[in-house]
Amino acid sequence: MPAQLTITGLAGIPLVQPGFDLAKLAIDGYAASGLVPEDGDVLVMAQKIVSKAEGRMVDVAAVEPSSEAIALGAETEKDPRLIEVILSESHRIVRHRPNLVIAEHKLGFVMANAGIDHSNVAPGGGDQFVLLLPEDPDASAAQLRRKLRELTGKAIAVIVSDSFGRPWRRGTVGIAIGAAGLPAVIDWRGLPDLFGRTLEVTETGFADEIAAAASLVMGQANEAMPIALVRGLHWTAPEADAAALVRPPEHDLFR
């Protein structure tokens, strides 16, 4: 692990619209920030700009709710059209109460509203548009990494980050929902601790730790800093995408 890291929000990133080239925007952000790409850089990109660039917006006003969505909407006091979008993105509804729906997303994430969000979306069509998660955040990160390599000749890792709440903890933190070019999880099992005791269960959510650190710069509201450069990290563990961070159901004591 390094003695020092730097986390820099890349300047000059515009409001992203469907079809934007995020790799090119990142390179422009390097230049606007007075930086040049280096091998080993990690770019953390907010899920919202990835979803926007991929056109993952839905007009709730055009959604026809099912009977299931109407019933759940009545129980949660939410728009049944929004509930229908949540259901379409989910394997199952985990818990619900008025004004809250916790769902297991099709990608395995357990999160509020299946990750569907109104904030910082407005594409010019009013507040009826919502943003879905990327269909495959790991594939999105891998594609961005390839494009960055083509543009710069450098090996730059990419994390797609989102803000999650956590069971039994207040507040949201940045986590990795997509990753490419680094180990999302580092397995320390079998290695000794400071006193020679063999570690038996220790695994580090490496990509989540990076995403959480970057979110301190990227912010959660109107900071307009959707791409952060993390520099100074080193790793030797094999690469693994963010899907490796999702706990398998058979290891989950609470399902």
The span from the CA of 133 to the CA of 154, in Å, is 28
State the chain's mean pLDDT as an integer. 90
> What is the residue type of 183?
P
The span from the CA of 147 to the CA of 40, in Å, is 15
The span from the CA of 30 to the CA of 12, in Å, is 9
- Specify the residue for token string 């979008």: 85
Q: pLDDT band at residue 123, thresholds of 50, 70 and 90?
A: low
Could you list the beta-strand ranges (E) of the chain: 6-9, 42-46, 57-59, 90-97, 100-105, 110-112, 129-131, 157-166, 169-180, 186-187, 203-204, 227-231
Token readout for 216 is 């301190």
Contact 6, 214 (CB under 8 A): no
Give pLDDT, residue 2.
Answer: 60
Token readout for 98 is 């008025």
Predicted confidence (pLDDT) per residue in 200-248, tens digit: 667 789 999 999 999 999 976 566 799 999 999 999 999 999 999 998 8
In terms of Cα–Cα distance, which of 173, 171, 103, 157 is closest to 133?
Answer: 103
Contact 116, 131 (CB under 8 A): yes
The span from the CA of 133 to the CA of 149, in Å, is 25
Give pLDDT, residue 189.
Answer: 73
Residue 127 reports pLDDT greater than 80: no
Q: ∠224-219-19 over CA atoms, to 5°?
A: 45
Predicted confidence (pLDDT) per residue in 74-87, tens digit: 999 999 999 999 99
The span from the CA of 211 to the CA of 201, in Å, is 23
In terms of Cα–Cα distance, which of 44, 81, 6 is closest to 233?
Answer: 6
The two beta strands, 157-166 and 42-46, are parallel
Residue 71 reports pLDDT greater than 80: yes
Q: For residues 19-45, give the mean pLDDT.
A: 97
Residue 142 reports pLDDT greater than 80: yes
Contacts 24+ apart (CB under 8 A), 90-99: 90/114, 96/72
Say which range, 1-10, 54-63, 192-201, 235-244, has the weakest mean pLDDT: 192-201
Residue 126 reports pLDDT greater than 60: no
Q: pLDDT band at residue 28, thresholds of 50, 70 and 90?
A: very high
Give pLDDT, residue 121.
Answer: 65
How many angstroms from the chain centroid is the CA of residue 28? 22
pTM of the model: 0.91
The span from the CA of 249 to the CA of 239, in Å, is 23
Token readout for 68 is 């299931």
Contact 48, 15 (CB under 8 A): no
Predicted confidence (pLDDT) per residue in 144-165, tens digit: 999 999 999 999 999 999 998 8
Residue 111 reports pLDDT greater than 60: yes
